[in-house]
Amino acid sequence: MLFRSGDTTLDNTIFLVDDDENILDSLKDIFEIFGFKTQAYSSAVDYLRELDDRQGCLVCDVSMPEMTGIELLSELNKVEHLRPTLFLTGVATIDMAVEAMELGAVGFMEKPVATEVLLKKVLDAIENFKPILETIHDYQTLTFKERPVFDLIVKGVTNNDIAEQLEFSVSTIEKHRASVMKKMQADSLALLMIKIPNLRPLGLGLEINNL
């Protein structure tokens, strides 16, 4: 047995999206055998309609009618509804995998996938997503005025130049900068920069270039 019934990871729900009913049923059986709760959807559109706040992992097919898995993740990023997302696909391309990772996917695997490999990938995704969620939560506490300051700070722009670009006084920018650093739990610019990759799942919602 791979897991103990007391593992906190088993408190997570595995959200399954696949337009192939046989594959969907097979995935449900695999995860439920090992104690996970599951929620299955036959389309990405159905998943979007029923978003909730349960913690867990999204295991999603890529090629589906109406909306592909990649398009689904893009939409989820826009509304900042974030779960670790693992893609399964029958036909994989390098471009497809790169796009998925750029959108924040934690894995991209070709079908069929061995049960042990899939389960380990999901468990790792859930565990590794915790610090990502913490950083994202910190970022989401930034005010409307603090976010553009944050964007310029991580680009290495000085307080004087930030003040000029945003048309605020330098003293105001200094206050915003101090607030940004405190909310992001960063004592230095170097520590703040280390956190930047954790914000990748926000996708287009975060306009930081060349990082």
Q: 6-22, pLDDT tens digit by residue?
A: 455 568 899 999 999 99
Rounded CA-CA distance 207/150 in Å is 10
Phi-psi region of 104 (alpha: psi -120 to 50; beta: other; left: phi over 0): left
> What does the pLDDT read at residue 206?
46
Rounded CA-CA distance 60/147 in Å is 31
Nearest to 148 by CA among 208, 88, 211, 59: 208
For 96-100, 154-158, 176-180, which range has the lowest pLDDT when averaged over its residues?
A: 96-100
Q: Is residue 209 scored above 50 in pLDDT? A: no
Phi-psi region of 115 (alpha: psi -120 to 50; beta: other; left: phi over 0): alpha
Question: Across 66-178, where does the E strand assignment appear?
Answer: 85-89, 107-110
Nearest to 91 by CA among 106, 72, 70, 110: 110
The chain-wide mean pLDDT, for the chain, equals 88
Residues pairing with 86 in the sheet:
59, 107
Per-residue pLDDT reduced to its tens digit, 88-103: 998 878 888 888 888 8
> What does the pLDDT read at residue 9?
55
